[in-house]
Amino acid sequence: MRRTMSMAGIAVAAVMLLASPRVQAQAKAGPIRLIVDASDAPQKILHVKMAIPVTPGALTLYYPEWIPGEHMPDGPIIEVAGMKFSGGGKTIPWRRDLVEMFSLHLDIPSEVTMLNAEFDFLLSAPAGGFSAGASATNSLDVLSWNQVLLYPKGFNIHDILFEPSLKLPSGWKYGTALPGGKQNGDMIDFSPVALNTLVDSPVLAGRYFREIQLTPGQNPPHFMDIAADSEAALAMTPETEMHFHQLVAEAAALFGSRHYRDYHFLLTLSDDVAHFGLEHHESSDDRTAERSLIDETELLAFAGLLPHEYVHSWNGKYRRPEGLVTPDYQVPMKDDLLWVYEGLTEYLGSLVLTARSGLLTQEQSMDELGGLVALYQHRPGRDWRPLQDTADAAPFLYNATEDWSNWRRGTDFYEEGELLWLDVDATLRGLTKNKKSMNDFCLVFHGGPSGTPALKPYTFDDVVATLNGLAPYDWTGFLRARLDGTSTKTPIEAIENSGWKLVYSEEPNGMEELENAIGKRSNMTLTIGAVVSDDGMVEDVIHGGPAYNAGIGPGMKIIAVAGKQYSPEEMKRAIEGSKSSTTPIQLIVANGAQFQTRSVDYHGGLRSPHLVRDSSRPDYLSEILKPMTPVAGATQSAQ
Ligand SMILES: [Zn+2]
């Protein structure tokens, strides 16, 4: 996941006009005046006023349903309250459509040419979820424009002009890719923009705010706009900051061009908002823990977030699967190519650019990758649900809980997609004696002229054609086997083809330990086959594994292990001792209000995954993780 334009809106519209003559005949709508009053955001409520030019007769207004980058119909319509319409001094009634429930029907009286709408948006969402999750605290607010507007039916979102204004709590500063912001007191008036640009350009505002220029004196400019719940959280060491400068330089080297006028990392540091990232063409909405920039462990835990969302400007926004290019926010999106949209972004962002920018060391990246391969080697859901279906079913798999995730599978097109693209990279290198790689793919597929945002849709065949242009091969067969097959060898082959092997030992995996510490849980997938929180709650049980065979399921609570009160340390001791013990590990488990004894027949001791070099094959992985640009300093060399 992770999203600007006014001139850009026109530029994209021009591309669409050329591509589709039908659009040419389409009328334009607006300008629609939109005033969002966020001065009560700390109180968890936004006030919205709209003035919509109308003609008399039947009118249908939409509330955005399918949110770009979220790949599902999760527009937070439930948080709309106090909705009232008026025109010519009179109230105008409305009624919801009984089938298309994000549609409101009105009958505009004959003398009315301007419809006034007003409503509140309730920021009462729980902390979880994506942009519909918690977005405001006492000290900051992330405004997603799709949540605070209605738009008329019958127009392409490129053809509806909005004139947005935003009122902030007194003294707050803000960052956004939305162009032309003029601040007058606490009110900001932005330039008129097309609806798609508006929705693609969230605003981050807060009391504690810092702007860092990542490419000072260069064009295009890059900003880190940071809002935090405390002044102290805005600090970072020069070394940490250098990695973000390096990220911009490495992305330029990888893609060869930039399809934006400026770029804003909108970074929210708070423990009281939903944690996720949402991509935009000229910015990203990145939300993480308050101490992420100043606490070493937190910094490592969020290392891959900004690189992932940044890659989406090329892979997801500029190049977008055809099925995700829809005329408005009501037409369902088709998620079948998310293994490219998200899988390739996970590979290029969370793995490749995170390592190349130094946000993780090469060793940490290897540890993380080893953990990922091991996890997918122990994912029985791969026996029945093909990787392709995890993408096809994404609109509901995004909402799946962690329990049984190994058997149900979740949005695995991210992580298994990452491994699939590592295998593509290694295979490209193998076929061409290391003369061609995914670096070349990115130049061809994501390159082209730099400048204002443009949209170039693609199909499966376009991906295959690009690969064939680099190294002729049965790429259709290669990809389809890994996408449509079950129990595929993708995880292990990706590692082996890049010159490494997966081994298990008692020695802990550093990144796995870090993830356990951050998540306050023990991931024992590789041993007893369970994930257990530090207070004993069973979060997941591997289908067919030792804990599963002992009758343990998610939602149960482990009270005691080997006769002692449950703690992660006692559990670890019991697993360590299992190697020399002939008796099962005895657990007392609460299933609701009832207690039971469970015997887990496991004797393998502690096991952690590690990658070791396979000297019989070329080491592509180390090369993939190496920076393309000089590391020293904050300047860039590419372009
Ligand atoms: Zn993403």
* Residue bearing tokens 């004797």: 603
In this predicted model, which residue has the larger pLDDT, 27 or 536? 536
CA 244 – ligand 1 centroid, Å = 18
Q: Looking at 384-529, which runs of residues are DSSP E strands?
A: 456-458, 500-505, 521-524
- Report the separation in Å between the CA atom of 543 and the middle of ligand 1, taken as the mean of its atom positions: 28
Q: Which residues contact 239 (CB under 8 A, 6 or more apart)?
A: none
How far apart are the CA of 405 and the centre of ligand 1, in A?
19
Going by their DSSP bridges, the two strands 208-213 and 182-184 should be labelled as unpaired
Q: Rounded CA gap, 396 and 118, in Å? A: 32
For residue 507, the CA-to-ligand 1 centroid distance in Å is 32
CA 357 to centroid of ligand 1, rounded, Å? 18
Average pLDDT of 543-565? 98
Q: Ligand 1 centroid vs 326 CA: distance in angstroms?
A: 18
Residue 588 has pLDDT above 80, yes or no: yes
Tell how far the Cα of 597 is from the centroid of ligand 1, in angstroms.
43
User: What pLDDT, on a 0 to 100 scale, did the predictor assign at position 126?
Assistant: 81
Contact between residue 195 and residue 29 where contact means Cβ atoms under 8 Å apart: no
Q: What distance in angstroms lies between residue 455's CA and the mean position of ligand 1's atoms?
A: 17
Mean pLDDT of the chain: 94
pLDDT digits (tens, 9 = 90+) for 384-421: 999 999 999 999 999 999 999 999 999 999 999 999 99
Pairing of strands 263-269, 222-228: parallel
What pLDDT does 631 receive?
A: 76
Using the predicted structure, report yes or no on whether residue 633 has a pLDDT greater than 80: no
pLDDT in tens, 183-201: 999 999 999 999 999 999 9
Structure-token match 């029907």, residue found: 105
Cα 237 from chain centre: 26
Ligand 1 ion: nearby residues, β-carbon < 5 Å: 1, 342, 345
Provide the pLDDT for residue 589: 98
> How far is Cα 128 from Cα 144, in angstroms, rounded to an integer?
16
Omega of the bond prior to 31 within 30 degrees of 0, cis? yes
What pLDDT does 1 receive?
67
Ligand 1 centroid vs 307 CA: distance in angstroms? 10
What per-residue confidence (pLDDT) applies to 632? Answer: 56
Cα of 492 from ligand 1 centre, angstroms? 24
* pLDDT tens digits along 100-132: 999 999 999 999 999 999 999 999 888 788 898
Token pair of 130, please?
A: 């994506």
Measured in angstroms, how far is the CA atom of residue 477 from the centroid of ligand 1? 26
What is the Cα–Cα distance from 491 to 172, expressed in whole angstroms? 47
Say how many Å lie between the CA of residue 356 and the centre of ligand 1. Answer: 19
- 277 Cα to the center of ligand 1, angstroms: 7
Q: Find out whether 168 and 205 touch, Cβ atoms under 8 Å.
A: yes
Ligand 1 centroid, distance to 511 Cα (angstroms): 21
The C-alpha atoms of residue 612 and residue 370 are separated, in whole angstroms, by 9
Q: How remote is the CA of residue 1 from the centroid of ligand 1, in Å?
A: 3
Spacing, Cα 568 to ligand 1 middle (Å): 32
Whole-number Å distance, alpha carbon 166 to ligand 1 midpoint, is 28
C-alpha 342 to ligand 1 mean position (Å): 5
Does the pLDDT value for residue 639 go beyond 50? no
* The pLDDT of residue 124: 83
Instruction: List, for residues 55-114, the tens digit of each pLDDT value.
Output: 999 999 999 999 999 999 999 999 999 999 999 999 999 999 999 999 999 999 999 999
Ligand 1 centre to CA of 169 (Å) is 31
Q: How far is the CA of 25 from the centre of ligand 1 (A)?
A: 34
Q: What is the distance in A from the centroid of ligand 1 to the CA of 38?
A: 28
> Which of 358, 346, 368 shows the shortest CA–CA distance to 425?
346
| pLDDT beyond 90 at 336 | yes
Cβ count within 10 A of residue 462: 17
How far apart CA 415 and CA 479 sit, in angstroms, is 16
Phi-psi region of 219 (alpha: psi -120 to 50; beta: other; left: phi over 0): beta
Lowest mean pLDDT, pick from 15-19, 168-172, 186-190, 539-543: 15-19
Give the Å distance between the CA of 376 and the centre of ligand 1: 19
What pLDDT was estimated at residue 380? 98
Q: Give SS3 for 442.
A: helix
Q: Is the peptide bond before 472 cis (omega within 30 degrees of 0)?
A: no
- Cα of 415 vs centre of ligand 1, distance in Å, is 11
The alpha carbon of 19 and the centre of ligand 1 are apart by a number of angstroms equal to 27
Please enumerate in sequence order all residues whose Cβ is within 8 A of that of 594, keeping only pairs 6 or more positions apart, or say none.
Answer: none
> In the numeric block, which tokens belong to residue 323?
């099925």
Q: Is the pTM of this model over 0.85?
A: yes
And the tokens for 216? Answer: 């000072």
Q: Which of 464, 491, 466 is nearest to 478 (CA)?
A: 464
Q: What's the chain's Rg over C-alpha atoms?
A: 26
Task: Please tell me the distance between residue 299's alpha carbon and the centre of ligand 1 in angstroms.
Answer: 19
Residue 135 pLDDT > 90: yes
The torsion of the CA quartet 160, 268, 517, 510, rounded to 10 degrees, works out to 80
Q: Rounded to the nearest whole angstrom, what is the distance from the C-alpha of residue 320 to the centroid of ligand 1?
A: 12
- The SS3 assignment for 262 reads coil
Q: How far apart are CA 158 and CA 88, in angstroms?
A: 29
| Mean pLDDT computed over 546-566 | 98
SS3 content of the chain, % helix, strand, coil (to 5): 35, 25, 40
Here the tokens at position 482 are 């890994």
CA of 76 to the centre of ligand 1 (A): 20
Q: How many helices (H) and strands (E) does the chain have?
A: 22, 32
CA atoms of 348 and 420, how far apart (whole Å):
12
Q: 196 alpha carbon to ligand 1 midpoint, in Å? A: 19
**Alpha carbon of 235 to ligand 1 centroid (Å):** 26
Q: Distance, CA 312 to ligand 1 centroid (Å)?
A: 7
pLDDT tens digits for range 514-537? 999 999 999 999 999 999 999 999
Amino acid at 7: M
Distance 70 CA to ligand 1 centre (A): 8
Q: How far is the CA of 502 from the centre of ligand 1 (A)?
A: 27
Distance 345 CA to ligand 1 centre (A): 6
Question: Sheet harboring 521-524: ordered strands across?
Answer: 521-524, 530-533, 538-541
The rounded Å distance from CA 378 to ligand 1 centre is 24
Q: What is the pLDDT of residue 52?
A: 98
Residue 259 alpha carbon to ligand 1 centre in Å = 17
Q: Distance from the CA of 334 to the center of ligand 1, in angstroms?
A: 16
Whether residue 10 is predicted with pLDDT greater than 50 in this model: the reply is: no
Distance 330 CA to ligand 1 centre (A): 21
- Distance, CA 353 to ligand 1 centroid (Å)? 14
451 Cα: distance to centroid of ligand 1 (angstroms): 22
How close is the Cα of 2 to the center of ligand 1, in Å?
5
Query: What distance in angstroms lies between residue 578's CA and the mean position of ligand 1's atoms?
Result: 40
Q: Hey, what are 599's tokens? A: 């015997």
Q: Please tell me the distance between residue 464's alpha carbon and the centre of ligand 1 in angstroms.
A: 21
* Residue 375, token pair as written in the block: 């996890």
pLDDT at 17 over 90: no
The more confident residue out of 547 and 124 is: 547
Q: Is 436 exposed, middle or buried (0-12, 13-18, 19+ CB in 10 A)?
A: middle
Q: What angle do CA 560, 565, 571 make, to 5 degrees?
A: 70
Cα 103 from Cα 96, distance rounded (Å): 6
d(CA 282, CA 223): 10
Q: Which residues contact 107 (CB under 8 A, 6 or more apart)?
A: 57, 58, 59, 92, 93
pLDDT band for position 439 (cuts 50, 70, 90): very high
